[in-house]
Structure 1
Amino acid sequence: MSAFNSEEQKHLIQAEYSQFLRDKIRLAPSKGFDVPLDQIHPGLKPHTRQIVRWALAGGQRAVFASFGLHKTSTNLEVMRQIGIHRPGGIRGIVAPLGVRQEFSREVAKHFTGDQAIDLRFIRSDAEIDDPATIYMTNYESVREVKVDVTKWQASGLDEASVLRSYGSKTYQEFLPMFAPVEFKFVYTATPSPNRFKELIHYAGYLGVMDTGQALTRFFQRDSEKAGNLTLYPHKEHEFWLWVASWAVFIQKPSDLGHSDEGYDLPPIEVRYHEVPSNYDTAGAEKNGQGLLIPNVAMGLSAAAGEKRDSMAARVAKVAEIIAADPADHFLVWHDLEDERHAIQAAIPAAISVWGTQQIDEREQRIADFSDGKVQILSTKPIIAGSGCNFQQHCHREIFAGIGFKFNDFIQAIHRVQRFQQTHPVIIDIVHTEVERKVLADLQTKWRQHEEMQAKMGEIIRTYGLDQLSMQDSLARTIGVQRQVVAGDRFEVAHNDCVLEALEQPDNSVGLVLTSIPFGNQYEYSPSYNDFGHTQDNDQFWRQMDFLTPQLLRILQPGRMYACHVKDRILFGNVTGAGVPTVSPFHAEAIFHATKHGFDYMGMITVVTDVVRENNQTYRLGYSEVCKDGSKMGVGMPEYVLLFHKPQTDRSRGYADVPVTKAKPLCLDEKGVTVPFDRKLPPVPGTGYSVARWQVDAHAFWRSSGDRLLSAAELASFGPGKLAKVFTEMSLDNVYNYEYHVAVGEAMLANKTLPATFMSLAPGSNDPMVWHDIVRMRTLNGEQSARAVEKHVCPFQIDIVDRIILRYTNPGEKVYDPFSGLGTTPVRSVKLGRVGAGSELNGAYFVDQVHYCYSMEKQVSVPTLFDMEAMDGENGL
């Protein structure tokens, strides 16, 4: 549109935009059905009945209930209810080997009479003959496709921690296998114990959100190390609320408002037993120097070697612990087959369970130990560490060694530390002195696990299972208190860019120059107003549908909209293509702008550093291109797309107010300055030359890459580098006390503000004051500047300058709806224009205002010659 018809139209757009922002709040969709609470099995515990109803309403949910909180009965009741309300489909439960007896016991105990169910264990599809039966199988049968789960209507994965790793074979196979299943549920007590991002793999399996989309939405990448993703600090609250919308974390019934009577976990005592390492296998350094003890910073292969070398000492310690309490029942965990044989030889009374054993014999031995018929059971966590309940007759566990897999470790511990355990639990961990680092890592993961449980427990206690309350909480992040700061040559606003553009007068801007967010590749603030806070490109462009018409409206007829964009890399392990592909974001931007009435005028290409890009993505690796050049693309350039607002008179090719360029003066044969003549050489600096036109008109622009720095980014340079940078900066800009303090406080927050010297010394222009005496030649532990792509304006200063000079006249307004640190308004002031724009992120806005004021003062401060001229005019 070209102008508002009325204030009523403006308010209508604001209302539609507000609803769009609320619709961006994406919690898990509900794809199930409602079952009244009085129809849920009355014999189940109150918290179990509540979880069953919540899971059925969602249809695709995760039950992360602590050990002993009845996940088995929850699973069975969910399947029973689906059979009642959605009869006719196959319902299946998948569980680890050795767990089916727990389900059989639960059926015999609770599911009789009116709530009776028929549960049958199967190993192939040939055994399926009655849709009224609930079928149970093991993970091996599903992996080997002996049981075709694509035909199922409902599935429940017991001990679903097999899905934790995105790259695991089980996850990659199960994702397409279970995709057609209408109702999907997962059950485990230890979700993502040490890496929060693994929770999204459960969401991907359930169909709540695509894994790649969730990675982009909640996690920031390390620009120096591909694949190193960490949760955005400002997205942490939203992330946990999103998780809580499809997963219930419950540590005890009171988390859902019910009584904890009978649900007190027994106390646990962990005893550590260190045995000597085999010094004869210590090895040597790279320089040949012998080691006194083996290297503690060892990998998996070295750890396996250490286990073999220390096996005799560790097994002897296990036998010693058991002999000290001969009346107790013991569960002995080991990792190696050789350890099993050694334990069997040292402790003849032990009964072993191993992987190649017949399934029926294996399950019988596990059941006998659970029933107290066997006193000592020796096995691996991967075999009996999940799903088995041993608390009735055993309260002692011994780890004959330690490893790197925390999930196996914590699951194994909770085979006996469970509700209804009547004795204090004692855990004995045997390790060598070389394994101290492995032990420390395990203990760290244990603490992280407890922190995550506390976080989710807090959310459950606050919101319960009410998605509406969660949604209202997230909706509070929508909106920002508008703040406008104006100088003589700029006016910038802390505001949503759509709402701020609505405040701008029609046809008031000489140039729109901006770098739009690149879809949902980055998020710049926790607010849902953030354009980066979108689930996909389609939603991003729908939000742009509110902004682009306003940019067209406020731009003068016949003038340019310059839009900086970059395409996005799509990784093969996320898309399934196997190779990195490219999302043509710049092409989408072209079609979007033309849809809203702009004329497309062309594209400027700005190349980037391909080596630096490869360090961030590994997609153009030299080694990989040598293996197969067909999988390699090219480096990702940036683009400045040029759009033209139609002039009022379409019969003429000129803007309503043309952007004129003065042609340069020339020198004739006598060296006399004359008006422009193509046949004569131009006088440098006297106008817009043909040489400059040739460079500007070319579609390929090079850039120095120079850009603005925020106070936080300056602080990240570290005291050594910053000592020089800050002083030089203070000489080039008008001194700003508040900015000086802000940099220091940012360093203080980073714990990098030195206590032994001043790293933020202002420079002096006075020859009587020397600021450049080197006090310290070197600084120990100097930090290199961290990569901060997300925090800085990606727009290069020289590119911005060239566009402003080419497409505006002096004194005209240049507008940037995504002004970030203020590159566009700052350079507009520098070049004699008026800078304007908006920024949603409060921290960036503060930096932007600082830069704008500094530049305004810099260009307005008179020189010595200016002062002398003024004195002359005043007759002084």
Structure 2
Amino acid sequence: MEYMEFLERKRTHVPHSGFDPGDDVSDALFPFQRDIVRWAVMGGRRAIFAAFGLGKSVMQLEIMRLVQAHEGGRALIVCPLGVRQEFKRDAGLLGTEVEFVRRTEELGGDGVYLTNYESVRDGRLDPNEFKAVTLDEASVLRSFGSKTYQTFLELFDQVPYRFVATATPSPNRYKELIHYAGFLGIMDTGQALTRFFQRDSTKANNLTLYPHKEQEFWLWLSSWALFLQKPSDLGYSDEGYALPPLDVRWHEIPDDGDSEVPVDRDGQERMFRDSAVSLSDAAKEKRATMAARIAKAKEIVDESPGDSFILWHDLEDERREIKRQMPDAVEVYGSQDLDERERRIVGFSDGEFRLLATKPVLSGSGCNFQRHCHREIFTGVGFKFNDFIQSIHRVYRFLQTEHVRIDIVYGEGEREVVKQLREKWARYDELTRKMEGIIKEHGLSDASIADAMKRSIGCERIEASGDGWLFANNDTVAEAKLIPDDSVDLIVTSIPFSNHYEYTPSYNDFGHTEDDAHFFGQMDYLTPDLLRILKPGRIYACHTKDRVRFGNVTGAGIPTIEPFHAEVIEHGIKHGFDYIGMITVVTDVVRENNQTYRLGWTEMCKDGTKMGVGCPEYILLFHKPQTDRTKGYADVPVAHSKDGYTRARWQVDAHAFWRSSGDRPLTPEEIAGYPVGEIGKVFKEETLRRIYDYESHVKIGESLEGMGTLPATFMAIAPASWQPDVWTDVNRMLTLNTEQSRKRQQMHLCPLQFDIVDRLIERYSNPGELVYDPFGGLGTVPLRAMKMGRRGRGVELNTGYFLDAVKYLEAEERRQSMPTLFDMEGIGE
């Protein structure tokens, strides 16, 4: 396969695994609903994110009916508690038979079945008994906890036809959308994360959309998920689907002045009671104003004796207080018998009683209360926006005929929670407008969306050069073709870590690959040329590291490690390199844990078998076979003068074992007494001066912790290594990203440390020789080559990185050409 054909095959294709039902779609549906049903069945695995009241239940029923009729077997609708009556009512209108079951033993023959999430979650109903499944209001899964949410979505991976329907995919939780994609089989969760999102190197799960991928992300969502706000988005009339006015009123309950003064974790009293930003703080604030808030709610209820109300609350104590102040309120709570809970929800939906007291997490999804209710009171506020917005739309939905009023009561100390809630609401509205624009532009046309998602292929080469350097903006495969055979003295690079990061919106990007096999498939076009251009007997030093694979993605239950460096070794050998060794670069395990949460101290205390070790980085040393294989020397050796490279230095480089100098080692108490900023340096010197003592190492850390000076964000007392192939002294901060940050320019995702590059250049090249980097980034390798008296060359696909690299290289060239005081001696004589 030619390289361009390989790149062309990367183009995004809208997945299809269904069939065209044609005219078999029921005429009982509205025209816009029929279009959606046909689109979903043709895709086979689709998500319907339609606004409240647009008929998701009837569409899901029809989808299940069509698939079951076409494929035979059983179809399943999974829904929240209290919603099955809605499905049965709609099934009657469509003439579709549905049977409610809770256990596998209750299943009969082929047909459409209905169950609750709890039955699947608790293992009573086996998903593998079904040919098709749809998850109604799947967002309620979040209330089961993140672990259950993730594992639940994996239970159906053997079901051929899968669908999701909910009105509120949260714009504040990108991972939820990605998990839906994983459930539907659209894209692996890990692949989606690395394709669209920039990771926060200081905190795991803090996802930020790459600016250059934002439009592509929303288009990709639209290729398998329909975001519909009203029928006119698909070109139909909105008659009967106009929402009534929404009146939202916020009521702040002042602090009574007698409650406890807030104190932070350092013992400092707060001047204002407006800092309830944690769950524990929020719970305290709720209890401090509980009676007053519910009294306000009662006042609102008493003002409108003819209206029905939903009284939303979060705490069990609030429920009890509601019942105390409003005895006629009917309660729904978690420990209640499921049948009784469902009976009360259905009873309120049918108008049997006036006041319903319940939690958003229990009744905020799927229930249709608009027939007999248009008033809601939130007796408090919480952090979970999805629960909040879902609860509002239990009454504010299409087919609601009354003016809807929402009263939100909160304590003075909960202002920050209210602020965050309103900000999330604004982002939710922004997503709604964004997706509305996409559906209006592309409709249900898969071809239109696929065309809009096309990335660029190819790169118009730009070259910049100077005295001792050349840097190109180009595809690295194309650039390597331009370099003559046997012309490069040393290759130093950090290759992309498979599909872990993407650097550009281009199919040429090596990070834009599906998996390791796909990545190495693209490397197959580059590595042969790296072998060709390298001089015989010289070194290709490849920086890489292993990859963490999370248990919720692999199904292993614990984080495992993919030995990516081993795959790189195998790849290099396959293409003709001799593999001669590996240098280990030790990284900060504390910082790594902050990024991945896989080595947590708390989890280790629960079960030590869960915890592996930190992931170091590796420099893999590949050797191009020399011309004369009967001798071990390179065609052009890297020679050292024995005057400068002494026997003693060679012994340290080749194999070092340092004994104690004889001085008394510092005690843990003495080391702990140093200023925090000096402890790491002192400890490192001590570990290299004397034989390592594990218990002493731990005791020093414990002494620091007892003094409150053991950092939680980095490892202050990392052990140093005597081994020359284990580098523990690399300065992680000494990269060009430091300069990029100072200039407020784009940071590189994986900067290469100066220490690593300098040592490789010194060890494996001669002065004046050419050092090449096929993944040039910000130009670190050619820049350090220039500084060390070599020539540098590199190539970078990302235009922004290229332009920044050229500035650094030009600046170094100017620095080297600037005369010094000694250069000026003799001038004018």
What residue in structure 1 maps to residue 445 of structure 2? 466
Secondary structure, counterpart of 1:180 in structure 2: coil
CA separation of 1:257 and 1:337: change in aligned 2, threshold 3 A: same
CA separation of 1:420 and 1:855: change in aligned 2, threshold 3 A: same
Matched residues in 1 for 2:203 and 2:304: separation? 51
Question: What is the TM-score of this pair, normalised by structure 2?
Answer: 0.85
Please report how far the alpha carbon of residue 311 of structure 1 lies from its aligned counterpart in structure 2 after TM superposition. 3.4
What residue in structure 1 maps to residue 739 of structure 2? 714
Q: 1:282–1:292: 8 Å Cα contact kept in structure 2?
A: no
Please report how far the alpha carbon of residue 449 of structure 1 lies from its aligned counterpart in structure 2 after TM superposition. 1.3
Matched residues in 2 for 1:599 and 1:138: separation? 59
Please report how far the alpha carbon of residue 465 of structure 1 lies from its aligned counterpart in structure 2 after TM superposition. 3.0
Superposition map of 1:530-549 within 5 A:
530-549=509-528
1:555 aligns to 2:512 (yes or no): no
Q: 2:469–2:786: 8 Å Cα contact kept in structure 1?
A: yes
Aligned partner of 2:619 among 640, 662, 675: 640
Aligned partner of 1:170 among 148, 156, 167: 148
Aligned partner of 2:467 among 483, 488, 512: 488
What residue in structure 2 maps to residue 60 of structure 1? 45
Matched residues in 1 for 2:397 and 2:113: separation? 27
Secondary structure, counterpart of 2:113 in structure 1: strand
Aligned partner of 1:211 among 184, 189, 192: 189
1:417 aligns to 2:405 (yes or no): no
Matched residues in 2 for 1:475 and 1:567: separation? 31
What residue in structure 2 maps to residue 8 of structure 1? none
What residue in structure 1 maps to residue 240 of structure 2? 262
CA separation of 1:65 and 1:811: change in aligned 2, threshold 3 A: same
Aligned partner of 2:60 among 58, 75, 97: 75
Please report how far the alpha carbon of residue 44 of structure 1 lies from its aligned counterpart in structure 2 after TM superposition. 1.3
Deviation sequence 1:748-782 (CA, Å, 0-9, x none): x9xxxxxxxxxxxxxxxxxxxxxxxxxxxxxxxxx
Matched residues in 2 for 1:168 and 1:626: separation? 21
Matched residues in 2 for 1:166 and 1:558: separation? 60
Deviation sequence 1:815-835 (CA, Å, 0-9, x none): 211111112212222333321
Please report how far the alpha carbon of residue 866 of structure 1 lies from its aligned counterpart in structure 2 after TM superposition. 4.1
What residue in structure 2 maps to residue 313 of structure 1? 292
Q: 1:123–1:138: 8 Å Cα contact kept in structure 2?
A: yes
CA separation of 1:125 and 1:491: change in aligned 2, threshold 3 A: same
Identity of aligned residues (%): 58
Q: 1:491–1:837: 8 Å Cα contact kept in structure 2?
A: yes
Matched residues in 1 for 2:617 and 2:337: separation? 61
Amino acid at match of 2:533: I
1:323 aligns to 2:281 (yes or no): no
Please report how far the alpha carbon of residue 92 of structure 1 lies from its aligned counterpart in structure 2 after TM superposition. 1.0
1:48 aligns to 2:33 (yes or no): yes
Aligned partner of 1:94 among 73, 78, 83: 78
Q: 1:813–1:835: 8 Å Cα contact kept in structure 2?
A: yes
Matched residues in 1 for 2:534 and 2:315: separation? 72
Amino acid at match of 2:800: A
Q: 1:174–1:205: 8 Å Cα contact kept in structure 2?
A: no
What residue in structure 1 maps to residue 7 of structure 2? 21
What residue in structure 2 maps to residue 700 of structure 1? 725
Please report how far the alpha carbon of residue 440 of structure 1 lies from its aligned counterpart in structure 2 after TM superposition. 1.8
Secondary structure, counterpart of 1:716 in structure 2: helix
1:843 aligns to 2:800 (yes or no): yes
Matched residues in 1 for 2:326 and 2:113: separation? 39
1:366 aligns to 2:391 (yes or no): no
Q: 1:283–1:291: 8 Å Cα contact kept in structure 2?
A: yes
Q: 1:65–1:251: 8 Å Cα contact kept in structure 2?
A: yes
Matched residues in 2 for 1:406 and 1:580: separation? 30
Superposition map of 1:496-507 within 5 A:
496-507=475-486
Secondary structure, counterpart of 1:178 in structure 2: coil
What residue in structure 2 maps to residue 235 of structure 1? 213
Deviation sequence 1:508-558 (CA, Å, 0-9, x none): 222222111222233323333222232322222111111101111222233
Q: 1:166–1:172: 8 Å Cα contact kept in structure 2?
A: no
Amino acid at match of 2:29: L
Aligned partner of 2:587 among 602, 608, 618: 608
Matched residues in 2 for 1:833 and 1:312: separation? 76
Secondary structure, counterpart of 1:280 in structure 2: coil
Secondary structure, counterpart of 2:367 in structure 1: coil
Deviation sequence 1:617-673 (CA, Å, 0-9, x none): 454455655665544444433222222223344344444x42252534xxxxxxxxx
Matched residues in 2 for 1:408 and 1:611: separation? 34
Please report how far the alpha carbon of residue 843 of structure 1 lies from its aligned counterpart in structure 2 after TM superposition. 1.9
CA separation of 1:273 and 1:623: change in aligned 2, threshold 3 A: closer
CA separation of 1:627 and 1:221: change in aligned 2, threshold 3 A: same
Which deviates the most, 800-809 or 121-130? 800-809
Amino acid at match of 1:55: A
Deviation sequence 1:461-501 (CA, Å, 0-9, x none): 23333333333333333333210112132111001111111
Q: 1:164–1:199: 8 Å Cα contact kept in structure 2?
A: no
Matched residues in 1 for 2:355 and 2:143: separation? 32
Matched residues in 2 for 1:232 and 1:32: separation? 32
Deviation sequence 1:53-98 (CA, Å, 0-9, x none): 22112222211111011101110110111122111x1111111111
Q: 2:480–2:530: 8 Å Cα contact kept in structure 1?
A: yes
Superposition map of 1:377-388 within 5 A:
377-388=356-367
Aligned length: 759
Q: Bigger radius of gyration, 1 or 2?
A: 1
What residue in structure 1 maps to residue 760 of structure 2? 803
CA separation of 1:259 and 1:500: change in aligned 2, threshold 3 A: farther
What residue in structure 1 maps to residue 673 of structure 2? none
Give the root-mean-square deviation of aligned CA atoms: 3.0
CA separation of 1:639 and 1:74: change in aligned 2, threshold 3 A: same
Aligned partner of 1:584 among 563, 566, 573: 563
Matched residues in 2 for 1:622 and 1:339: separation? 35
Amino acid at match of 2:581: G
Amino acid at match of 1:56: V
- Listed as ranges, the gaps of 5+ residues in structure 1 are 1-12, 665-681, 718-742, 750-787
Please report how far the alpha carbon of residue 716 of structure 1 lies from its aligned counterpart in structure 2 after TM superposition. 3.4
What residue in structure 2 maps to residue 35 of structure 1? 21
What residue in structure 2 maps to residue 428 of structure 1? 407
Which deviates the most, 494-503 or 848-857? 848-857
Secondary structure, counterpart of 2:377 in structure 1: strand
Matched residues in 2 for 1:716 and 1:195: separation? 28
Matched residues in 2 for 1:289 and 1:694: separation? 57
What residue in structure 2 maps to residue 661 of structure 1? 639
Superposition map of 1:767-846 within 5 A:
790-791=748-749, 793-794=751-752, 796-846=753-803
Which deviates the most, 451-460 or 57-66? 451-460
Q: 1:281–1:294: 8 Å Cα contact kept in structure 2?
A: no
Matched residues in 1 for 2:21 and 2:298: separation? 54
What residue in structure 2 maps to residue 782 of structure 1? none
1:479 aligns to 2:458 (yes or no): yes
Please report how far the alpha carbon of residue 26 of structure 1 lies from its aligned counterpart in structure 2 after TM superposition. 4.4
Q: 1:192–1:198: 8 Å Cα contact kept in structure 2?
A: yes
Matched residues in 2 for 1:628 and 1:338: separation? 35
Please report how far the alpha carbon of residue 593 of structure 1 lies from its aligned counterpart in structure 2 after TM superposition. 0.7
Aligned partner of 1:404 among 362, 379, 383: 383
Question: What is the TM-score of this pair, normalised by structure 1?
Answer: 0.80
Q: 1:193–1:446: 8 Å Cα contact kept in structure 2?
A: no
Matched residues in 1 for 2:39 and 2:772: separation? 50
Matched residues in 2 for 1:74 and 1:614: separation? 45
Which deviates the most, 262-271 or 353-362? 353-362
Q: 1:513–1:562: 8 Å Cα contact kept in structure 2?
A: yes
Q: 2:351–2:372: 8 Å Cα contact kept in structure 1?
A: yes
CA separation of 1:550 and 1:398: change in aligned 2, threshold 3 A: same
CA separation of 1:695 and 1:257: change in aligned 2, threshold 3 A: farther
Q: 2:77–2:133: 8 Å Cα contact kept in structure 1?
A: yes
Deviation sequence 1:139-169 (CA, Å, 0-9, x none): 2222233322221111111111134479535
